[in-house]
Every structure is written in C-alpha cells, then in structure tokens.
C-alpha cells in the first residue's frame, strides 16, 4: 500500500505542483489523496483538480462568522482529514498557524516548508524579511528548510535544510525565484526522506 499524503495550501501551489509531478513520475514514494486549502481562491486547487486529486476548502472566516473559534476550525479540519487517515500532512504554503489541538491529531506526522534557515526568519513573509536584512548588510545568505510541525511556529526539528546565497545584483524577485527553485526540489526530497525514516 502506497504512503498517503495530504497537502495543505493557501495560494499558488507551485510546491504542490512539484509534489504532483514527482508522484506522477514515481519519483515520490507516496500518493496525494487530498489537497486542502483555507482559501477558496487558491490556484493550487486548480492544480489539484487538473491532476484528478480531490480537494477540500475550509475557511477560517466561515467559522468566525458564526461565532466559533480558531480552535473549533482546527478541530473540524483535523476530523475531516483524519477520516482519510493519511501517513503524512505536508504544509506547502499553508498560511494558517495550527493549534496544539490540531497537531495532536497527527503526532510526528506534519511537516512544513519554510523559506528561511532555522531560527532566522520564523513566520510569514520570510523571503521579504531576508531580502531587507540583506539590504541592511546583516546577512549574505538565506535558505529553505522543511521541518516537523510543533505548536511553536517554525521551531520544529528540521528534516532538510539548504542554504541559498543572496547576490549583490539580486532584486527581491531574483531571490524569490532562486528560493522557489530550491523549494520545489527540497519538498520532494523531504517527503522521500520522511518515509524512509519511518520505514525503519
Ligand atoms: N503550529 C504551527 N503552525 C504552522 C506552522 C508551524 O511551524 N507550527 N508553520 C506554518 C507555516 N508558516 C511558516 O512556515 C506560517 C504561516 C502563517 C503564519 C501567520 O502569521 N499566519 C497568520 C495569518 C496570515 C495570513 O492569513 O496571511 C495567522 O495564522 O494568524 C506564520 C507562519 C503553518 N502553520
Ligand atoms: N511560512 C510559510 C511560507 O512562507 N511558505 C511559503 O509560501 C510559498 C508558497 O508557494 P506556493 O503556493 O507556490 O507553493 C512558498 O515560498 C513557501 O515556502
């Protein structure tokens, strides 16, 4: 039985596409059984549909609008995902901070792709923050990591880390393109590594 993964997105889904392509050519030792988005407009939903992968959209707004909490949302989402009993959840541009209540449904089974080095620019907008730090002369490189997800944002144990140089001639767009290129490779390598690690 193939390893099953559920990918969670919030936007363009270029990293999801890297996983879809790797699963299609059998590079990836896993099957994507569902794509979840917290944004209805996420283009990654189109990518999933074109690949014949089921999708689920659940927005925080629909819970907040009826007086429910973030934790209510997280628990409802966790229960829907748990029905498919995935081996691994991959956060690929998932821009929602998950509660402990959600994470406890999937112990040691959630990994996140983050465009920074461990402890460097935790949180959202990491690429922009790295570029600004470079322009201030504070750093000469940034990076990409895939890490285990714990309640503390971006503080989970790294699974893979790759350093990415920042060039004097770089615009923000140049740096973003270099980082995304690394991400698309690293996210596939991280899933492969995860399942090799749990196999023993
Ligand atoms: N408990 C955890 N949840 C999440 C983690 C994690 O490590 N632990 N990783 C993030 C991904 N992420 C950075 O890699 C990240 C995403 C979003 C945010 C954030 O500030 N989100 C805001 C909303 C922002 C928006 O909607 O544009 C929020 O949730 O209030 C920080 C870090 C995924 N979740
Ligand atoms: N903190 C999480 C975070 O910043 N994630 C980042 O969102 C982008 C999603 O791109 P995509 O939708 O094209 O895959 C990626 O750069 C990913 O590292």
Give the total number of structural domains in the chain.
1
Q: What is the ipTM of this complex?
A: 0.95
Per-residue model confidence as pLDDT tens digits over 125-173: 999 999 999 999 999 999 999 999 999 999 999 999 999 999 999 999 9
Longest Cα–Cα distance in the chain: 51
Query: What is the arithmetic mean of pLDDT over 22-43?
Result: 96
Cβ of 93 closer than 6 Å to ligand 1, yes or no, is no
Query: What's the CATH code of the domain at 159?
Result: 3.40.50.170
Q: Which residue's alpha carbon is nearest to atom 5 within ligand 1?
A: 153
Ligand 2 and 93: CB distance under 6 A: yes
pTM recorded for the entire structure: 0.97
| Tens-digit pLDDT profile for residues 71-85 | 999 999 999 999 999
Ligand 1 in contact with 156 (CB < 6 A)? yes
Atom of ligand 2 nearest to the CA of 176: 16
Distance, CA 93 to ligand 2 centroid (Å)?
A: 4
DSSP for 29-80 reads SSEEEEEEES-TT-THHHHHHHTT--EEE--HHHHHTTT--HHHHHHHHHHH
Give the tokens for residue 70.
């973030």
Catalytic residue numbers read 114
Q: Which residue range(s) make up the domain with 96?
A: 3-199
């Amino acid at each position: 039985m193939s390893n099953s993964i559920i990918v969670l997105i919030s936007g363009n889904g270029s990293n999801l596409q890297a996983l879809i392509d790797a699963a299609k050519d059998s590079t990836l030792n896993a099957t994507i059984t569902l794509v979840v988005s917290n944004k209805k407009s996420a283009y990654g939903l189109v990518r999933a549909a074109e690949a014949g992968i089921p999708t689920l959209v659940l927005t925080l707004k629909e819970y907040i609008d009826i007086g429910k909490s973030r934790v209510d949302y997280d628990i409802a989402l966790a229960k829907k995902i748990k029905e498919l009993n995935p081996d691994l959840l991959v956060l690929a541009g998932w821009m929602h901070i998950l509660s402990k209540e959600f994470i406890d449904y999937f112990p040691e089974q959630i990994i996140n792709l983050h465009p920074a080095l461990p402890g460097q620019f935790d949180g959202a907008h990491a690429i922009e923050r790295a570029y600004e730090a470079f322009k201030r002369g504070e750093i000469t490189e940034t990076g990409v990591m895939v890490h285990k997800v714990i309640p503390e944002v971006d503080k989970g144990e790294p699974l893979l880390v790759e350093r990415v140089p920042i060039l004097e001639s770089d615009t923000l767009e140049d740096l973003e393109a270099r980082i995304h290129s690394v991400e698309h490779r690293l996210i596939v390598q991280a899933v492969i590594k995860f399942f090799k690690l749990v196999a023993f």
